[in-house]
Structure 1
Amino acid sequence: MPDPLRLDPVQETLLLTLYARALDSTAPAPILGDTRSAALAARIAEDTGYDFAKLKLKPSLVTSTALRARKLDDVVRRFVAAHPDAVVVDLGCGLDTRWSRCAPPDGVAWYDVDFPEVLDLRQRYLPDPAHPVAADVTEPGWVRTLPDDRPAVIVADGLLPFLPGDSFRTMVRRLTDRLRSGELALNGYTRFAAWAMKYHPAIKALGIGAAQGFDDPHEPERWDAGLTLTEEQLLTRAPEVAAFPQPVRALTRLVARSTALSRQGARILRYRF
């Protein structure tokens, strides 16, 4: 008998992004090429009976998920290459295979942060040398588990719109208070994008609503977290768009002509602290 997954709707979003990466890996021209995610999704479906097909992922979500993961991987790789003793903090890690994709040097201390139920699932299906931190990221105490004497890169992939109120900025302040210096990288949802996300068929299938976002990429500089914007990547203009399937490629290139419209899609924001 399959052993059903026991995740709440927010936690279940990890299966949505896992499946998106899995589907990308089987595309004729993969963006991320994460074959480990494809094998992982197949194993979970076999063990638990989970029907990934019910998520009804559209090509646009598959490509945007894969592309933002690739760009955030690039941030991590550059940072650990420059700081081989760095700390990596992967917030809301879910079942992401980022550690294996980035293959950090031995001196890097990698911390995977997510709910206890998620990390139990991760230990079952995706054991790796990272340090698991079982916590609700909106709670204050867990940041004390992180080393405070080494440069750090903090990654938040898809986390922002699922945290209520001002909890994301509060969490960022706690992290930058704890960590000596480094970078924060996230995919930055605008307020409209966060609002509209809850109407996406794949999100509606999980029965959850999205929460917050921000329009001005400089807004986090006003969070009293010591952040300075160093890069805004509008992913509609990324060279990898050439590998998108049609008609997603044509529509993305049309949107890319407008900065305002491009910001409503996927963008990667990078800050120094």
Structure 2
Amino acid sequence: MHRLRPELGLIQETLLLTLHARALDAGLPRPILGDELSADLAARIDYDFGRLKVKPDLVATTALRAKKLDDAVRAFVAGHPGCVVIDLGCGLDTRMSRCDPPPGVDWYDVDFPEVVDLRSECLPGGSHLVGADLTSSGWLAAVPGDRPAMIVAEGLLPFMPGDSFQAMTRGLTRHLPSGELAINGYTRFAAWAMKYHPTIRVLGIKAAQGFDAPREPESWGAGLDLAEEQILTRAPEVALFPQPLRALTRLTARSTALSRQGVRILRYRF
């Protein structure tokens, strides 16, 4: 079997972290996401995944946030069968395969050009690939601006510098007539603390961006209205977490303030 050797920068290399976490989840007796395509894909990548030191807690939380974002995409597509889906910072995520949208949906996977090139080798066909620096705005011309859109951004917020995530969001909501934005939210403390996570430290990445109040994005000038905040410490899938993470998560779930420091899914309408 031919194995692909990716040539990626530090930020882009995080896609291998999330791919590995989804692959490990798929190999569990009781997976949360069960993404077997990610497991097959990881096996085709020539990379020392062991250096990432991925722990069971990261596997569980990565799988759970992906599952909840998938659910948000499926719900939107069901209500808007001719819509556009835009997966920002898509990496090597197999979300389109997992969500299996109907033929009338146009799916756009957006990431750095070198990531899109790798993706075209690993996951050919299916979606429209857009290679772009998301801190610029020119790439929006590649996306239809006359149909409702589901925008999903998993794990992207902390890695965009300054207020570039907010500026990108304003550009998207001005370009598109209506839709939803679904993200996994990071508080400022959670984004700051990411720098000290063993896996992030291995890659040498300094994540920094986050926000605390779930309604804060309503002040970005992007026409966003909070539709839902899912605090994932209270998700039923926590029953599948390994111990002692399961017990700790259930204890944390008693406090909304503490739970918000972990994984939460936020949906906004525009």
Please give the TM-score of this superposition, normalised by the length of structure 2.
Answer: 0.98
- Checking the alignment, whether the CA contact within 8 Å between 2:4 and 2:44 is kept in structure 1 is no
Query: In the alignment, which of 191, 194, 199 is matched to residue 194 of structure 1?
Result: 191
Q: Which residue of 2 aligns with 1:269?
A: 266
Structure 2 Cα separation of the partners of residues 243 and 109 of structure 1: 33
Q: Which residue of 2 aligns with 1:19?
A: 20
1:129 is displaced (CA, Å) by 1.3
Work out whether 1:205 is the aligned partner of 2:206: no
Secondary structure of the corresponding residue to residue 146 of structure 2: coil
Q: Which residue of 2 aligns with 1:43?
A: 44
Structure 2 Cα separation of the partners of residues 147 and 32 of structure 1: 30
Q: Which residue of 2 aligns with 1:76?
A: 73
Query: In the alignment, which of 77, 92, 95 is matched to residue 95 of structure 1?
Result: 92
Query: In the alignment, which of 136, 140, 153 is matched to residue 139 of structure 1?
Result: 136
Secondary structure of the corresponding residue to residue 94 of structure 1: coil
Q: Which residue of 2 aligns with 1:232?
A: 229
1:7 corresponds to which letter in structure 2?
L
Q: Deviations over 1:201-222 (max 9, x none)?
A: 1101111110200000000000
Q: Where in structure 2 are the equivalents of 1:1-12 lying within 5 Å?
A: 4-12=5-13
Q: Which residue of 2 aligns with 1:215?
A: 212
Taking a change above 3 Å as real, the CA distance of residues 140 and 261 of structure 1, as seen in their structure-2 partners, is same
Identity %: 71
Q: Where has structure 1 moved over 6 Å in runs of 4 or more?
A: none
Structure 1 Cα separation of the partners of residues 235 and 125 of structure 2: 31
- Checking the alignment, whether the CA contact within 8 Å between 2:84 and 2:147 is kept in structure 1 is yes
1:3 is displaced (CA, Å) by 6.2
- Checking the alignment, whether the CA contact within 8 Å between 2:3 and 2:44 is kept in structure 1 is no
1:225 is displaced (CA, Å) by 0.2
1:27 is displaced (CA, Å) by 1.2
2:238 corresponds to which letter in structure 1?
V
1:269 is displaced (CA, Å) by 0.2
Q: Deviations over 1:114-165 (max 9, x none)?
A: 0010011101111131000100111011112111111100000000000010
Secondary structure of the corresponding residue to residue 228 of structure 2: strand
Q: Which residue of 2 aligns with 1:181?
A: 178
CA RMSD after TM alignment: 1.0
Work out whether 1:246 is the aligned partner of 2:243: yes
1:10 corresponds to which letter in structure 2?
I
Structure 2 Cα separation of the partners of residues 3 and 40 of structure 1: 10
Q: Deviations over 1:155-192 (max 9, x none)?
A: 00000000010000000000000000000000000000
Secondary structure of the corresponding residue to residue 92 of structure 2: coil
Would you say how many aligned residue pairs link Structure 1 and Structure 2?
269
Secondary structure of the corresponding residue to residue 158 of structure 2: helix
1:4 is displaced (CA, Å) by 3.8
Q: Which residue of 2 aligns with 1:32?
A: 33
Please give the TM-score of this superposition, normalised by the length of structure 1.
Answer: 0.97
Secondary structure of the corresponding residue to residue 123 of structure 1: helix
Structure 2 Cα separation of the partners of residues 8 and 257 of structure 1: 39
Structure 2 Cα separation of the partners of residues 128 and 253 of structure 1: 41
Structure 2 Cα separation of the partners of residues 203 and 55 of structure 1: 8
1:26 corresponds to which letter in structure 2?
G
Query: In the alignment, which of 154, 157, 177 is matched to residue 151 of structure 2?
Result: 154
2:226 corresponds to which letter in structure 1?
L
Taking a change above 3 Å as real, the CA distance of residues 35 and 2 of structure 1, as seen in their structure-2 partners, is closer
Secondary structure of the corresponding residue to residue 119 of structure 1: helix
2:211 corresponds to which letter in structure 1?
F
Q: Deviations over 1:70-103 (max 9, x none)?
A: 0000000011111110000000000000000000
Question: Which deviates further from its counterpart, 62-71 or 143-152?
Answer: 143-152
